[in-house]
Amino acid sequence: MMKKGLLSCLLFCLLLLPAACASAAGARVSDSAGMLSTQEFAIAEKSMNYIVERYNVTVHLFTSEKIGKKDDYRAYVKKQRKKEKENDLLLLFLSTKKDEEVCCIKAYGAAKKNLTEKRLSGIEGAVEKRLRREDYKEAVHFLSGQLLDKMGTRPVFDAFVFHPLLHFLLCVLVTAGLLYRLLRKNVWKKPEGIPYLNEKYSTLLGSLDHFSHISVKAVKTKKKKGKKEEQEEDEFSELPDDFE
């Protein structure tokens, strides 16, 4: 009986273990530099929680205004790592020290899956530009957005072949080609070998049709040197019915 009770208790503990591990993951924001307002601090926490919910890793964002780029900030981040108990961890350090702004990202365990050194270096450089402009809200927003995106995509998709700009240019070229073919196909061409009359000549022939059954006499005047003018009459025959 005692063995059965012990076995049941052990089984119950095993069932609770995954839930306990899952609850260990969470987001923490420590703004020692005071770079965020109360509202911005709440938004930063919410952004970090998105990463926790999607990838089930612990995220710790911490800031400083005393430790900058010229200081040993990497040792400071490693020291912070020793305080953390979780294996699947994402440490995000931001410094607002004047002229020494820096961003340092360290990933451990499952958080490191798609975050290569090249990717992290690119994100850090972009965040530091925003820190130098003192656009702290945008820096945190950009940081969380990039991490959400990169952690969910494989590094192979960073190649230029998959770049959105290349896709846009290809779409423009294909659209231009289709429009060119469509316009060229619908351009009116003058039929070859088929005579046609423009408006001027068609009006003239139309007016002559009214006189097709009437005899017309034309008088020609000739001038001869040293003689009087003579008039000659020429009678034109009746125009045929099938005159065109």
What mean pLDDT comes out for the span 57-63?
94
pLDDT given for residue 214 in this prediction: 53
pLDDT given for residue 164 in this prediction: 60
Tell me which of 87-91, 156-160, 227-231 is least confident. Answer: 227-231
Tell me which of 22-36, 74-88, 178-192 is least confident. Answer: 178-192
Tell me which of 35-44, 87-96, 175-184 is least confident. Answer: 175-184
Tell me which of 17-21, 108-112, 178-182 is least confident. Answer: 17-21
pLDDT given for residue 232 in this prediction: 47
What mean pLDDT comes out for the span 187-197?
53
Q: How confident is the model at residue 20 (pLDDT cuts 50, 70, 90)?
A: very low
Q: In this structure, what token pair is assigned to residue 25? A: 């993951």
Domains of the chain (ranges, CATH numbers): 24-155 (3.10.310.50)
pLDDT given for residue 2 in this prediction: 46
Amino acid at 123: I
Which range of 16-20, 59-63, 150-154 scores highest in mean pLDDT? It is 59-63
Distance CA 244, CA 241 (A): 9
Distance CA 204, CA 177 (A): 45
Distance CA 159, CA 165 (A): 12
User: Inter-axis angle of helices 38-55 and 136-151, to 10 degrees?
Assistant: 0
Taking the model in full, what pTM does it have?
Answer: 0.58
What mean pLDDT comes out for the span 146-161?
77
pLDDT given for residue 86 in this prediction: 86
* Whether pLDDT at 139 is above 90: yes
Number of Cβ within 10 Å of residue 150's Cβ equals 19
Helix (H) or strand (E) holding 72: none
Distance CA 14, CA 169 (A): 55
* Whether pLDDT at 22 is above 60: no
Distance CA 143, CA 47 (A): 9
Q: What is the mean pLDDT of the chain?
A: 75
* Beta-ladder partners of 233: 219
Residue whose C-alpha is closest to residue 25's, from 3, 56, 64: 56
For 93-132, the pLDDT digits (tens) are: 999 999 999 999 999 998 888 889 999 999 999 999 999 9
For 31-53, the pLDDT digits (tens) are: 999 999 999 999 999 999 999 99
Provide the H-helix boundaries in the chain. 2-24, 38-55, 73-83, 117-132, 136-151, 164-186, 199-209
For 196-234, the pLDDT digits (tens) are: 545 554 554 455 555 555 555 555 555 555 554 554 444
Q: How confident is the model at residue 176 (pLDDT cuts 50, 70, 90)?
A: confident
Residue whose C-alpha is closest to residue 27's, from 6, 5, 50: 50
